[in-house]
């Protein structure tokens, strides 16, 4: 039986960033669109923003122990549209918003080892794309501070920057139309000066992405390459260690899992 945990059922804890002291290997896997899994050695598989079959990336379903969902749109919350088989196992599912779509902000313990900061942001872009609100996630795994920026519609404000904390690894939308675009994504990266690894997401992929007004990944990498190292990996998996992150910002391009 699946466990579905609404944020109102969780118990808040006053824990900031950096709660995990020991460094260990953490595997990040790109499943397509805005969906990643993060797993420390022997730890829970944390999945963020699985997509419904409407977005036909081939990777799902995959196993998960915890599923974090940023907002109730079809490309981020399959359960919201009646699809209950987009991940396997018996995961804790977290939907951190109320009936109006507003984030229940705070720092929440999801499991014994996972504490997540929920931060509200607008989905609506400067040009009027997107709709409603999204939840930004920040949490520590293996001594690394991760932040997933959902379908962020604007650059960050000071309160959001403070709440995210000293981010090491950033998942950021870059495709525009319904989120920040490539230029705004570069601004956001600069707003988070501790970031060392950036995984772009939420961009147009021919034959998969239904929304043709989104920009492809190349629109971001062409401008990012002027400022940062852009590294293209051959597999959908990359292994990170807290004491072996790059000295300078690396834009890490992972192919989606086939």
Given a contact cutoff of 8 angstroms between Cβ atoms, the answer to whether 113 and 44 are in contact is yes
Given a contact cutoff of 8 angstroms between Cβ atoms, the answer to whether 162 and 192 are in contact is no
Q: What average pLDDT score do residues 76-87 get?
A: 96
CA–CA dist 65, 112 (Å, integer): 13
- The answer to whether residue 210 sits within a structural domain is yes
Longest dimension (CA), the chain: 49
Cα-Cα-Cα-Cα dihedral of 79, 120, 68, 33, to 10°? 80
**Which pLDDT value is given to residue 14?**
34
- The answer to whether residue 258 sits within a structural domain is no
Residue 5 pLDDT grade (very low, low, confident, very high; cuts 50, 70, 90): very low
Checking if the pLDDT of 102 tops 70, the result is: yes
Q: What average pLDDT score do residues 40-58 get?
A: 97
- The answer to whether residue 191 sits within a structural domain is yes
Q: What average pLDDT score do residues 72-93 get?
A: 96
Q: What average pLDDT score do residues 46-68 get?
A: 98
Question: Which DSSP letter does residue 86 get?
Answer: S
Query: Which helix H or strand E contains 164, and what residues bound it?
Result: helix 158-164
**Which pLDDT value is given to residue 143?**
96
Q: What is the CATH number for 151?
A: 3.60.15.10
Model pLDDT for residues 16-44, shown as the tens digit of each residue: 444 444 469 999 999 999 999 999 999 99
Question: Which DSSP letter does residue 163 get?
Answer: H
CA–CA dist 122, 101 (Å, integer): 11
CA–CA dist 102, 121 (Å, integer): 9
DSSP code string of 7-59: GGGS-B----S----S---EEEEEEETTEEEEEETTS--EEE----TTS--S-
CA–CA dist 38, 66 (Å, integer): 10
**Number of structural domains the chain divides into:** 1
Query: Which helix H or strand E contains 95, and what residues bound it?
Result: strand 92-95
Three-class DSSP category at 248: coil
Residue 255 pLDDT grade (very low, low, confident, very high; cuts 50, 70, 90): very high
- The answer to whether residue 20 sits within a structural domain is no
Mean confidence (pLDDT) of the chain: 92
- The answer to whether residue 173 sits within a structural domain is yes
- The answer to whether residue 19 sits within a structural domain is no
Question: The domain containing residue 179 runs over which residues?
Answer: 3-13+25-253
Q: What average pLDDT score do residues 154-176 get?
A: 98
Q: What percent of the chain has pLDDT over 70?
A: 91
- The answer to whether residue 75 sits within a structural domain is yes
Query: Which pairs count as long-range contacts for 224-231, CB under 8 Å and 24+ apart, including other chains?
Result: 224/182, 224/185, 224/186, 224/200, 224/251, 225/251, 227/186, 228/189, 228/198
Given a contact cutoff of 8 angstroms between Cβ atoms, the answer to whether 203 and 215 are in contact is yes
**Which pLDDT value is given to residue 126?**
87
- The answer to whether residue 46 sits within a structural domain is yes
pTM (whole model) above 0.85: yes
């Amino acid at each position: 039986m699946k466990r579905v945990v609404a944020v109102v059922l969780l118990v808040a804890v006053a824990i900031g960033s950096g709660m995990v002291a020991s460094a260990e290997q953490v595997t990040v896997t790109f499943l397509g669109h805005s969906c990643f899994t993060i797993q420390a050695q022997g730890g829970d598989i944390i999945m963020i923003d699985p997509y419904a079959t409407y977005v036909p990336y081939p990777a799902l379903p995959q196993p998960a122990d915890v599923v974090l969902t940023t907002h109730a749109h079809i490309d981020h919350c399959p359960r919201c549209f009646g699809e209950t088989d987009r991940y396997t196992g018996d995961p804790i599912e977290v939907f951190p918003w109320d009936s109006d779509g507003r984030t229940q902000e705070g720092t929440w313990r999801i499991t014994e080892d996972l504490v997540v900061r929920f931060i509200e942001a607008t989905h609506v872009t400067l040009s009027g794309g997107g709709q409603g609100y999204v939840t930004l996630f920040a949490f520590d795994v293996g001594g690394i501070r991760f932040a997933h920026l959902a379908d962020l519609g604007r650059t960050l404000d000071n309160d959001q920057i403070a709440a995210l904390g000293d981010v090491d690894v950033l998942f950021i939308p870059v495709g525009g139309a319904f989120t920040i675009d490539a230029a705004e994504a570069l601004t956001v990266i600069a707003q988070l000066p501790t970031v060392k690894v950036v995984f772009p997401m939420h961009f147009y992929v021919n034959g998969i992405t239904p929304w043709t007004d989104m920009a492809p990944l190349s629109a971001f990498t062409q401008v990012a390459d002027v400022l940062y190292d852009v590294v293209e990996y051959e597999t959908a998996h990359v292994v990170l260690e807290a004491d072996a992150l790059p000295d300078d910002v690396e834009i890490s391009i992972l192919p989606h899992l086939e």
